[in-house]
Structure 1
């Protein structure tokens, strides 16, 4: 069950949580946070341990990705993000699929 409690939490409590899309697809694991210090807000989640089917290039090169925090739908035992993360692709990859 997702905890929708609005009480303040330590931002470090997000680190290590698994991230899933709304449709239940594993996206990755929170490794770090992107912050706007002046605005005192989280602006993104830096993910590692990525789903290789969604992020082929990044998993091959050992890179992570940053998911904009505005995509986050819920935070509880896991983090739920919009399904749009499943549709994020490299434009070159899309072109190759159209040609193939």
Structure 2
């Protein structure tokens, strides 16, 4: 074989790969639904979904009525939580009745 038939070696340029920065991944805030009774003259309405967790504007209500927090449940848990809220003797049922005034 002659040297003319041989191919010249290919030169591959080196590329520097950027390393990912050490950033914390923000956790998604949960999507919740309020399953308690409508309270505070409609300020919190039963079955209202809340995207991104419990809003700050309800902080004062939760401070006065801590049961409210128990009645915010992940939307994915809604069917089970609804059944528990309707069942006598469960914590969700007790929180619901306390807010309803029964």
- Normalised by the size of structure 2, how large is the TM-score? 0.25
**Which structure exhibits the higher relative contact order, with contacts defined as CA atoms closer than 8 Å and separated by 6 or more residues?**
1
- Normalised by the size of structure 1, how large is the TM-score? 0.25
Q: Which has the larger radius of gyration?
A: 2
